[in-house]
Amino acid sequence: MLFMTTEAAFSRNLVGLYGHIHERYADDATFLWLLRDLAVSQPHYNVTDLAELDGRIDAQLDGLMTAPEESWAICADALELLQPDAVFTAAVLAFRSLDIRHIQQVVEAGMSSDHTVRGLVAAMAWLPGRLVHSWIKKFLTSKDLNHKYLALAVCSARREDPREFLTAILQRDDCLAHPRLYARALRLIGELKRFDLLHALRAGMVSGDKDAVFWATWSAILLGDKSLATNLQIYALNPNPHQTRAMALCFRVLPLETARSWITLLAKTPTNSRLVITATAYLGDPQAINWLIAQMRIPTLTRLAGEAFTTITGIDLQEHKLMLEELPDLDAQLPDDGAQNEEIGLSDDEYLPFPDVNKIAAIWQKYQQRYAPAQRYFIGQIVSPGISASEHLRNVFANGQQRQRQMAALELALLEPAHFLLNHAAKGFNE
């Protein structure tokens, strides 16, 4: 009995020792997913960097699988926080363990809010098809409309066509009456270029629901009807949840003069300075470069304007030494009002270089004649139908920074109506 007691005590100690290791695996996987969630839209990450980060996440997730039950207890506790990062880690573990109870638990937690569902969708997009395809089908055929929404969101992230299931959803009155599901279905038509469902887009555009109208119009434009861009003016020029997407699409497909007039309307609101710069980058008009250089002299706009300059011209500030190499250390000279103690989110400009405006002005003075007027440019090349432009966009998607990759995917989907919208946020090694 003494031997058994000693052995049991040793076993408990061993479990406790390794428990700390698995807690670390869970914490690291959660943290790294949060980092990745930011990285997919950051200007200093490319697909190689993303693949490296994905490998680090997989290493932590593999570590959790060395003791599935113990790891699940850790992840289940974290699920109670109802955060997307915790849902991601728990969901990957649950689907890999094939334990139906655990899967049901993470689905329930993940579907509790729009916030948490992001982690659940990310996990199901992360895993190989053999672990999630049967579940996607179950959710597509579920009576629970929220499950259908989840399935469509996962199909979108994986860029997999639900085929007849999507068609069936768009034919059911209960699905059309579910705003979130209906909008997601309309969006997927455009992402996957489902031309057979154009009739559903026409119905969506007159549905009366603002989200459905937006996504139906957005998808129809992706399928080739660029004349519909004017229908998105209210979304592109006014604050709303779809403004960024509306701008990204409209300023790429509108006639040049119409796009310029929209930018003029945006500029009438003083607080729209950043939006005007962003719209200018989307438009790709080289005639706006001198204006962008002027914006670089405004401290709060300098880095964003520098990024827009590169987006249009293809002239990389770091590669061509057009950035300020060293910034002065002013800690001793400037007042400290405690701003560092406030909770400040990551700025969109955080990892953009500070442009050397005088050098850029000189470079543009020398080379501006190489850019044709009345043409749209993206990373230094004219965007127009043809093999050259398509190859350029594919090269940017394969080798560019994340924001450039996202823009290249949209440009390519617009240039080639049959080409589905590539996912810049997909796992790096899958690109």
Using one digit for the tens of pLDDT, what is the confidence trace for 83-102?
999 999 999 999 999 999 99
Alpha carbon distance 74, 20 (integer Å): 10
pLDDT in tens, 144-171: 999 999 999 999 999 999 999 999 999 9
Alpha carbon distance 133, 153 (integer Å): 13
The whole-angstrom distance between residue 415's C-alpha and the CA centroid of its chain comes to 20
Contact 349, 355 (CB under 8 A): no
Contact 187, 218 (CB under 8 A): yes
Residue 104 pLDDT more than 60?
Answer: yes
Residue 330 has a pLDDT of 57
pLDDT-based confidence at 332, cuts 50/70/90?
low
Report, in angstroms and rounded to the nearest whole number, the Rg of the chain calculated over CA atoms: 25
- Residue 347's contacts (CB-CB under 8 Å, 6 or more residues apart) are none
For range 297-302, the mean pLDDT: 96
- Residue 223's contacts (CB-CB under 8 Å, 6 or more residues apart) are 189, 190, 193, 195, 198, 201, 417
The whole-angstrom distance between residue 127's C-alpha and the CA centroid of its chain comes to 18
Q: Is the torsion defined by CA of 309, 311, 314, 320 positive or negative?
A: positive
- Identify the residue with better confidence: 343 or 24: 24
Contact 316, 310 (CB under 8 A): yes
Q: Say which range, 111-125, 273-287, 344-358, has the weakest mean pLDDT.
A: 344-358
- List, as one string, the DSSP characters of 119-147: HHHHHHHHS-HHHHHHHHHHHHT-S-HHH
Cross-strand bridge partners of residue 377:
382
Q: What secondary structure, in 3-state letters, does 322-371 show?
A: CECCCCCCCCCCCCCCCHHHCCCCCCCCCCCCCECHHHHHHHHHHHHHHC
Per the document, the length of the chain is: 431
The stretches of 40-99 forming alpha helices (DSSP H) are 47-64, 68-79, 84-97
Residue 8 pLDDT more than 90?
Answer: no
State the pairing for strand pair 377-378/381-382.
antiparallel
pLDDT in tens, 186-210: 999 999 999 999 999 999 999 999 9
**Dihedrals phi, psi of 355, to nearest 5 degrees:** -70, 145
Residue 348 has a pLDDT of 87
3-class DSSP assignment, residue 342 = coil
Residue 11 pLDDT more than 50?
Answer: no
Residue 16 has a pLDDT of 56
Nearest to 95 by CA among 66, 119, 67, 124: 124
Q: Say which range, 9-13, 154-158, 281-285, has the weakest mean pLDDT.
A: 9-13
Contact 152, 165 (CB under 8 A): no
3-class DSSP assignment, residue 348 = coil
Alpha carbon distance 220, 213 (integer Å): 11
pLDDT-based confidence at 333, cuts 50/70/90?
low
Contact 71, 25 (CB under 8 A): yes
Residue 12 pLDDT more than 70?
Answer: no
Alpha carbon distance 153, 174 (integer Å): 18
**Dihedrals phi, psi of 220, to nearest 5 degrees:** -65, -35
Residue 297 pLDDT more than 70?
Answer: yes
Residue 18 has a pLDDT of 64
pLDDT-based confidence at 326, cuts 50/70/90?
confident
3-class DSSP assignment, residue 246 = helix
DSSP symbol at 353: P
Q: Say which range, 217-221, 337-341, 387-391, has the weakest mean pLDDT.
A: 337-341
pLDDT in tens, 343-400: 445 688 999 999 999 999 999 999 999 999 999 999 999 999 888 999 999 999 999 9
Alpha carbon distance 106, 92 (integer Å): 9
Residue 10 has a pLDDT of 44
Residue 343 has a pLDDT of 44
What the block records as the tokens of 91 is 């969901």
Tell me how far CA of residue 215 lies from CA of 207, 212, 231, 245, in angstroms. Answer: 11, 5, 12, 10
**Dihedrals phi, psi of 207, to nearest 5 degrees:** -75, -25
